[in-house]
Amino acid sequence: MGVAKFTRPVHLEEGMALEGFSSGQPFVDGWLATRATKARQRGSAVVYVSHRAGTDVRAEPPAGFYTLSSASIDRDLIGGGWLKRNAPSEVPVILLGVLGVDSRYQGSGLGRMLLRDASARAVAIAGDIGAKALVVDPVDEEAAAFYARNGFERIPGLGRMFVQLKAAGS
């Protein structure tokens, strides 16, 4: 197979195939298979999916996906630093809940493309509702290294990582 092209991430819609997605991470695969549709229906997370260009989204699982939701972090749990400084007692953040790339497409740049898309959406959302950071709970140290290479820092006192959300033009 040549270099794969991927669609811009879109909302997971009813009827889109999920079966067959395999990232090699049991938590990520299980979340997509069992919780993504429920999260969409309940409004607890928005699931964005990207497919290999030209695939039938009703027959083929996504090449990758991520989720966004609103969240907050108790300021007293943060060990210090920018995220805690001048923040309310519940620090408003946007949670990048799960990000996964099917093993067939790992190493293609899709993960970085999904993360850029999530970050851009988070910046836009933060400009409308107010949020200090995009936060992620890395599933393992390999994932933490991926996020660190893409500008995320550890939150002092927590296992989470964050990147500051700056409005476009600031």
Helices (H), the chain: 26-34, 36-42, 110-129, 141-149
Residues 6+ apart with CB under 8 A from 72: 90, 91, 92, 93
- Catalytic status, residue 66: no
Strand partners, 90: 74
* 40: its two tokens: 């969409």
Residue 111's closest CA among 93, 83, 138?
138
d(CA 72, CA 90): 6
Q: Where would I find the beta strands (DSSP E) of 60-105?
A: 64-74, 90-101
Residue 143's closest CA among 154, 157, 156, 131?
154
Give me the catalytic one of 48, 66, 105, 147: 147
* End-to-end Cα distance, the chain: 42
- Active site residue ranges: 147
